[in-house]
Amino acid sequence: MRKIDYDIKDLSLASQGKKKIEWARQNMPVLKLITDEFSKTKPLKGLLIGACLHVTSETANLILAYLAGGAKVALCASNPLSTQDMVASSLVVDYGVPVFAIHGEDKKTYYKHLNKVLDVHPQLTTDDGADLVTLLHTERLKQIPEIIGSAEETTTGVIRLTAMAKDKALKIPVLAVNDSDTKHMFDNRYGTGQSTVDGILRSTNILLAGKRVVVCGYGWCGRGIASRMRGMGAHVTIIEVDPVKALEAVMDGFPIDQIGHAIRYGEMFVSATGDKEVISTNHMKKMKDGAILANSGHFNVEFDYDGLVKMAKTKRILRNNLEEFILLSGKRLFALGEGRLINLAGAEGHPAEVMDMSFANQALGAAWFVKRKGSLKPKVYVLPKEVDQRVARLKLHAMGMKFDRLTPVQRKYLHSWQEGT
C-alpha cells in the first residue's frame, strides 16, 4: 500500500468494503459510463479534490470516477453517523484514497477530519451540507484563492449557500448539484422515501400498516417519505408551512394539520424540513405515550433531541439507533438515530440506482468547473439543462427504455407562434 495519511476505523475491513463498492457499481450504470469516458479523456487531470460526503459504497464509486478523470481526492464524512467503515477501509487499502471518517466519531473528530481534507489544499471541494465551504469561509480563509469552486449535494447545503450569497459572504463559485432535476426529483423523492422507511424499520422493526404517521415537510423528501409510508399502509398526515406545498399534499390525498394538533394523535413523527425545532420539547410533552421520533433532514435539529435528553428522567438504548426516554410524567418517547438522518444512520442511505444520477451530476459538475476555471463568479450556479437531459437519456438507455422524439414538424410548431385556433 502506498503511504498515505488516513484516519479510519479498521484497515482489515477492506475486502468486505471492496465487494460492497462493486455491488453498488452494478446499479450505477450512468456513473460507470462517465467513469469509462473520464479514463479516456482525463478531464480532471492534476486536480486536487476535497470531498465531504457520506462515506458509502455509492460515494466510493464517485471517488473512483474522480480518480479515473485524473484527480487526486481526499475524503471525510459529512455526518458522524453515516460512515460505512468497511467502505472507508477499502478506499484506503485498495484505492489509495486518504479517508478521514469513522462511524460514530464525535464532533471534535468530525471537524478534525474536515480540516485534514482541507490540509491537502484542494482546488475543488464537494460538500453534502456545506460544512467544508463553511470551514473555508471561517477558519481557513487563506485557502479561498486556491479554490476553483465547490459542488453541493443536498437541499440543506444549497439553502446555507444561498443565504451566504445573499449576505455577500460567499467568496467562491458553488454548484448546486441538488438543484438538477435528475438529482432532486429522484434522489430526494424516491431515495429518501425508500431509505427513510428502511432506516425506521431496521431501527424498530415495527409494523407500518395502520400506524398514524405525521410527516413534517412536503418538499421532495417529504413527498417521497409520505408516499412510501402510505404504500406500507400507514395513515399519513402532512405538516407544511408553504401554502402551495400544503395544497399539493391535500390534492395528493393526504390530510394536513398543524403540529400543535397532530402531536395529540401521531404515533410516529418523521421530519424532513431542513429547518430547526419543528418538534420542540413542549410538543413532546403533549405526545401520546410511546410516540416515535425520527428525522430525515440533513441536520439533527429538526426535533429537539438535545432538549429531549435534558428533559427526560431516564434514557436507555433498546436496539441499535433506538432510544427510550421516560419523561417526568412517566410518558415514554422513542427517538431514532439520536435525531440524525435516519436513512443513513439507521440504514445505508439511498440505493445505488438513484445515487447513480446524483453522482453522475457530481462527476460532470467537476468537469464543468475545470472547463470554467477562473471565469466564474462567487455565486450559486446550477448545471445546464443539457446535463440533465444527458443523464436522463443515459439512465433510460441503461434501463432498456425507449422514448419518443419530436418530429421536425412538432419541433417547428413548438418554436413558432403564428399557428393558433
Give the dihedral sign, CA 207/301/78/113: negative
From CA 98, how far away is CA 328, in angstroms rounded? 47
- C-beta of 344: minimal distance to ligand ADE in Å? 6
Binding test (CB under 6 A) with ligand ADE, winner from 56, 178, 281, 300: 56
- Cell numbers at 119, concatenated: 490540509
Nearest Cα neighbor of 332 from 387, 281, 386, 288 is 288
Among 349, 382, 388, 392, binds ligand ADE (CB under 6 A): 349
Residue 419 C-alpha cell reads as: 399557428
Q: Choose the stretch contacting ligand ADE; rule: CB under 6 A; options: 55-63, 158-166, 234-242, 374-382.
A: 55-63
Nearest distance, CB of residue 269 and ligand ADE, angstroms: 21
Closest distance of CB 76 from ligand ADE, Å: 13
Between 51 and 312, CB nearer to ligand ADE: 51
Cα–Cα distance measured from residue 307 to residue 281, given in angstroms and rounded to the nearest whole number: 6
| Cβ at position 343, least distance to ligand ADE in Å | 6
Residue 246 Cα distances to 94, 146, 242, angstroms? 48, 44, 6
Interacting residue with ligand ADE among 268, 327, 355, 364 (CB under 6 A): 355
Residue 312: CB minimum distance to ligand ADE, A: 30
Distances from the Cα of 342 to the Cα of 76, 154, 252, 294, 347, angstroms: 19, 16, 25, 7, 7
Residue number of the CB atom closest to ligand ADE: 349
Query: How near is the Cβ of 235 to ligand ADE at its closest, in Å?
Result: 27
CA distance 97 to 411: 48
Which one of 277-285, 291-299, 344-352, 379-387 is the stretch in contact with ligand ADE (CB under 6 A)?
A: 344-352
Question: Taking contact as CB under 6 A, which single stretch among the options 168-176, 216-224, 297-305, 348-356 is the one that binds ligand ADE?
Answer: 348-356
Residue 224 makes contact with ligand ADE by CB under 6 A:
no
Number of residues that bind ligand ADE (CB under 6 A): 10
How far apart CA 54 and CA 74 sit, in angstroms, is 13
Helix residue spans in 232-270 (DSSP H): 243-251, 259-262
Q: Which is nearer to ligand ADE, 191 or 219 (CB)?
A: 191
Is 350 an interacting residue with respect to ligand ADE (CB under 6 A)? Answer: yes
Ranges assigned E (strand) in 350-398: 380-381
CB of 53 to ligand ADE, least distance (A): 6
| Kind of pairing between the strands at 322-326 and 314-319 | antiparallel
**In terms of CB distance, is 53 or 279 closer to ligand ADE?**
53
Distance of alpha carbon 215 from alpha carbon 236, whole angstroms? 7
Q: What's the closest the beta carbon of residue 84 comes to ligand ADE, in angstroms?
A: 9
Contact status: 58 vs ligand ADE (CB under 6 A) = yes
Give the residue with the Cβ less far from ligand ADE, 186 or 254: 186
Smallest gap from residue 350 Cβ to ligand ADE (A): 4
Residues 400-419 that bind ligand ADE (CB under 6 A): none
Choose between 123 and 358: whose C-beta lies nearer to ligand ADE: 358
Q: Which of residues 142-201 bind ligand ADE (CB under 6 A)?
A: 191
Q: Are the beta carbons of 51 and 76 closer than 8 angstroms?
A: yes
x-or-dash pattern for ligand ADE, window 35-54, by CB under 6 A? ------------------xx
Reference 193, options 240, 231, 152; nearest CA is 231
Residues 6+ apart with CB under 8 A from 127: 52, 53, 78, 133, 150, 151, 152, 153, 157
- Contact at 8 Å (CB) between 354 and 308? no
The interface region with ligand ADE, picked from 85-93, 106-114, 343-351, 411-419 by CB under 6 A, is: 343-351
Query: What value, to the nearest 5°, has the Cα angle with vertex 401 and ends 400 and 403?
Result: 150
Interaction site with ligand ADE (CB under 6 A)? 53-54, 56, 58-59, 191, 344, 349-350, 355
